[in-house]
A = this chain, B = another copy of it.
């Protein structure tokens, strides 16, 4: 039997901890190290940090080089921040150790948009050190880009694409409900938007750019509208928050890919307490027109953990370089022993 896939976690926050707990249940894969800069985590056992009642024998460290040199992982699961400029030095350091990376960094899902130069540098670095880099997640990474691209495959012509994700925030984590402004007055909501305390969904531009790239559509521009409150038409509530009529139940954000003055790609994201139907819908106007819907919508946290985990064998099996979801083989679930999905590798 092949040896287990060795994983180091880089970032042990909310998502990193969820990934860690999931990894502990799986076969053919093991956590061999954990990196985080937070002072309240460094030096502690990973089991304590992620909140499982078990000593895992892995001490969270803030020294990337030491951890990677000692543990020699196959892949790093990177969950720190959303922006290329911030993750670049982190990922560059990992790759210099010849280690593959799968990251939840939203901008990395299609890095050529915000940071084409950093993307080129990462690609060159990855190739030099024989490593593969992928940014993914449920969104960006799947629902509003990879799945949309896949659904264009049976089309002879395409006029326009509309993608819509409607989430009932009541079923989500309380911090998420607060993050989307549920319960605020409209004035408070707008103030928090201005102060960037409420920032909306990150990744809509990346999803649009990736779809356009797959179709070889040259866009004039990508327009991202200001985040708007979804105003409660009646009083609605979650277990944690009561939203009175007229207050913000959550947020709505739209983004467009514009070509020849036409909105050829439209993405709409809504997350609010009280949504009557939760769904992910894709409409491709063309020949044939494709009307697709996933109902209820895919749960963000569960989906993100799955996307990250299921991408591991795709990244390990890929050639070296900076990849996006559309460059890799058809995504799929790795529900059995992880070793069944990974091609033969050198043993370290």
Contacts and interface: CB of A to CB of B under 8 A. Distances in A.
A307 interface: yes
Interface in A278-336: 286-288, 290-296, 298-299, 302-303, 305-307, 309-310, 325-336
Given A147-B150, A158-B335, A327 B326 contact: no
A340 interface: yes
Interface stretch (A125-133, A175-183, A209-217, A220-228): A209-217
A296 B156 CA distance: 16
30 contacts: A22-B156, A142-B153, A146-B153, A147-B150, A149-B332, A150-B150, A152-B310, A152-B333, A152-B335, A153-B310, A154-B298, A154-B303, A155-B306, A155-B310, A156-B306, A158-B335, A214-B330, A215-B336, A216-B341, A286-B335, A288-B298, A288-B299, A288-B302, A292-B292, A292-B293, A293-B293, A326-B329, A327-B329, A328-B330, A330-B330
A138 interface: yes
Contacts of A287: 302
A333 B302 contact: no
Given A294-B291, A330-B328, A332-B214, A302 B147 contact: no
Interface of A: 22, 138, 142-143, 146-147, 149-158, 214-217, 286-288, 290-296, 298-299, 302-303, 305-307, 309-310, 325-337, 340-341
B291 A292 contact: no
Contacts of A303: 154, 288
A330 B325 contact: yes
Contacts of A336: 215-217
Contacts of A299: 288
B329 A329 contact: yes
B150 A305 contact: no
